[in-house]
Amino acid sequence: MWALIFAGAILLAPASGNAQSSYKPANSRTNDGLETTQDFNRRLEQLRRSASAQAALSPEYRVGSQDVLDVNVFEAPELNRSLRVSANGEIAMPLIGAVQASGLTAREIESSLEAKLRAYVNDPHVGVLVTAVESHPVSVVGAVKQPGVFQIRGPKTVLEMLSMAQGLADDAGDKVLVMRGAGLASASNASGAAGKDVSQDPPAGSDSASAAATATAPSDTNTVEIDLRLLLESADPRYNVPIYPGDIIKVTKAGIVYVVGSVQKAGGFVMPTNEQMSVLKAVALAEGLTGTAAKGHTRIIRTDPVSGKRSEIPINLGKILDGKLPDVPLQAADIVFVPKSGGKAALYRGTDAAIATASGVLIFRP
């Protein structure tokens, strides 16, 4: 009896293993093997978790300009107040005046205040709490799911900041731009008296308290361009560059080409980041032509991104489909207009009609 059960278990085990090994997650890749934005976001989250697990504990937070502190003197409650660190890094307390705060931890500020208050208070005990971090802003913009300004504590990297922005949007391109110190220009306009009482100030994150940065960021402004695919796939730390307060991270958007007119599914199609989009590929994404398409009168409507000048490039789509003419490469924002033949062409006549149609179509990702 037991021998028969054991033999049956052996026979069933290989079948179960084969079924598991042949399983592939749905929508993990496109039909032609290209990775999707979902794949990138999945890898991004895996890298973020791996980095968090391996990273050592960050040092205790050091206060910066524009941070908000709650100061409590237990022996003299009348001295308790909420203070914003001034642009020159100081807070001002009654009796003792200006005290350096920027660059110090909360414990170090407590010790400094206690030492100065001993001349006025018997054995003072001071508590300092950082209630709002506004000195370390990093902006993440472009093709991310949640763009915005993020206040960071401790060292961060590009991958961590992209994760804080909830990953990449569906129309993300293949480049990440890190603009060093670009947020410092607005911070230089911030000013205020040392240790301003902020008990009536707007809450943290409001427009009036969003653009300060500390001296830990590089003083010169330059842009670092990173290939998104190398960032996510390579283990080389050169691509996962450190981020400093005042930096702006921009994820470029992928190009979009539009196919309108006598096609089965008119729309805008996101250009894959690792291949050239062409007329034939665009028509294929539009699910082919209708029976009334005037293939010989197809044209590409192209707008110069600098001058805004519009031009038309006539092509013979029929000969391209027959292999008698080479396929034509497309650029971002190109419109492939396939008119109707015969009397119905009047419905789609003119460049302006094609532009208007393209502006209202849905955007699809291949």
Kindly state the percentage of the chain with pLDDT values over 90.
40
Domain pair 68-132 / 256-364, same fold: no
Q: Is the pLDDT of residue 107 over 80?
A: yes
Q: What is the pLDDT of residue 47?
A: 62
φ, ψ at 326 (rounded to 5°): -70, 155
SS3 annotation, 177-208: EEECCCCHHHHCCCCCCCCEECCCCCCCCCHH
- Residue of 71 and 11 predicted with greater confidence: 71
CATH number for region 256-364:
3.10.560.10
Report the greatest alpha carbon distance in the chain.
Answer: 99
Q: What is the pLDDT of residue 34?
A: 44
Taking the whole predicted model, whether its pTM rises above 0.85 is answered as no
Q: Where are the alpha helices (DSSP H) in the chain?
A: 2-21, 37-54, 106-117, 158-164, 184-187, 228-233, 279-285, 317-321, 351-359
Edge-to-edge order in the sheet of strand 223-227: 148-151, 137-142, 248-253, 172-179, 223-227
Nearest Cα neighbor of 79 from 113, 103, 123, 129 is: 113
Arithmetic mean of pLDDT, 309-336: 93
| Least reliable range by pLDDT among 58-62, 126-130, 238-242, 305-309 | 58-62
Arithmetic mean of pLDDT, 340-345: 62
Domain boundaries, the chain: 68-132, 137-192+202-253, 256-364
Nearest Cα neighbor of 277 from 336, 331, 322 is: 331
φ, ψ at 293 (rounded to 5°): -70, 135
Q: Residue 183: what residue type?
A: G
Coil/strand/helix, residue 100: strand
Q: What is the pLDDT of residue 349?
A: 55
CATH 3.40.50.300 describes domain 68-132: no
Looking at every residue in the chain, the average pLDDT score rounds to 76
Cα–Cα distance measured from residue 268 to residue 362, given in angstroms and rounded to the nearest whole number: 6
- Residue of 170 and 3 predicted with greater confidence: 170
Confidence of residue 315 (pLDDT cuts 50, 70, 90): very high
φ, ψ at 218 (rounded to 5°): -60, 140
Q: What is the pLDDT of residue 236?
A: 80
Q: What is the pLDDT of residue 33?
A: 42
Q: What is the pLDDT of residue 238?
A: 84
Arithmetic mean of pLDDT, 88-104: 92
- Residue of 238 and 73 predicted with greater confidence: 73
Confidence of residue 210 (pLDDT cuts 50, 70, 90): very low
Per-position DSSP letters for 247-274, written without gaps between them: -EEEEEEPPEEEEEESBSS-EEEEPPTT
**5-57 pLDDT tens trace:** 444 444 444 443 333 333 333 333 444 444 566 766 776 666 656 555 444 44
Confidence of residue 350 (pLDDT cuts 50, 70, 90): low
**232-260 pLDDT tens trace:** 887 788 889 999 888 999 999 888 899 99
CATH fold for domain 137-192+202-253: Outer membrane lipoprotein wza fold like (3.10.560)
Q: Which two tokens stand for residue 138?
A: 């990093």
Q: Is the pLDDT of residue 217 over 50?
A: no
Confidence of residue 287 (pLDDT cuts 50, 70, 90): very high
Cα–Cα distance measured from residue 110 to residue 112, given in angstroms and rounded to the nearest whole number: 5
Q: What is the pLDDT of residue 28?
A: 38
Relative to beta strand 363-364, strand 267-270 is parallel
**161-195 pLDDT tens trace:** 999 999 888 888 888 999 988 755 444 444 444 44
Q: Which two tokens stand for residue 294?
A: 């005037």
Q: What is the pLDDT of residue 111?
A: 94
